Amino acid sequence: KCRDIIRTGPQAFLRLCDILQKFGGLQPTQRASIEEQVGIFLYTLGYAVKNRKIQFFFCRSGETVSRHFHKVLRSMVTFEEYFLNQPDGSEVSLEILYSSRFYPYFKDCIGTIDGTHVQVKVSNEDVPRYRGKYYLVDAGFMLRSGLIAPYRGVRYHLKFSSHEPKSPRELFNLRHASLRNAIERAFGVVKKIFPIIASTTQPNFSVETQTKIILACCIIHNYLMGVDPDENLIAEVDR
């Protein structure tokens, strides 16, 4: 039941609390332990509910819930460098290295890039910063130095088709799709664990706080994948 409430098993939860206290500067108060503060934070991320429902669940005032949420959030984002570090390209990914489908063809691949939509509420004062602005994208990304896109005009995602690849380019696109699925899968798992970034309801935080929430969700996801992956949830995303 622990995973249903705070999205993690008990041992991983206690270890996370210990990490936040020892390395993230999070401290208990006279009336709230580290565990309760982190529990409030994870419950908020995991259920995307309004403050008053969290008040009821934890028997705390709205001000207390909000204060502890923001304290843990500030502590959590300090781990960005550790849990969201970028590969330096010095080693080949084991998934590629030990697969005859991918190695040596993708031996220089250091990661995958994708985008996902997260609903963010912007204040009236900030609207001019976003209105009329845009990113230029295509089905994937434009081919440029440092990026390898699939062949255009060639079938993609053949794994969802009964047709076998009929040319080297189709085979490349199939294996390209198989590798790039890692990032799509990761986004799917993050949103399943933390509905706060998948919810269609309007968030009641500032843009800066919403940005930190997204960052914190990714940090916790990476932490859990290392110590307490939810195999049932991962299987659900893979279906």
Tokens matching residue 100: 């005859």
DSSP annotation of 162: S
Mean pLDDT across 171-199: 84
Q: Residue 123: what are its φ and ψ, rounded to 5°?
A: -70, 160
pLDDT at 127: 74
DSSP annotation of 163: P
CB 159 within 8 A of CB 179: no
pLDDT at 136: 34
Using a 10 angstrom Cβ sphere, with 0-12 exposed, 13-18 middle and 19 or more buried, the burial of residue 217 is buried
pLDDT tier, 160 (very low <50, low <70, confident <90, very high otherwise)? low
For 42, residues 6+ apart whose C-beta sits below 8 A from its C-beta are 6, 7, 8, 13, 220
How far are the Cα atoms of 24, 77, 133, 197, 209 from residue 215, in angstroms, in the given order?
A: 15, 7, 23, 10, 10
Higher-scoring residue by pLDDT: 78, 137: 78
Whether residue 168 is preceded by a cis peptide bond, meaning omega within 30 degrees of 0, is no
- Residue 211 to residue 233: CA distance in whole angstroms: 25
pLDDT tier, 137 (very low <50, low <70, confident <90, very high otherwise)? very low
Write down the mean pLDDT value for the chain. 84
Residue 189 has pLDDT above 60, yes or no: yes
Tokens matching residue 76: 């959590």
Domain residue spans in the chain? 2-84+200-238
- Residue 35 to residue 162: CA distance in whole angstroms: 50
**pLDDT tens-digit readout, 69-106:** 999 999 999 999 999 887 777 888 888 899 998 898 88
Q: Residue 168: what are its φ and ψ, rounded to 5°?
A: -55, -35
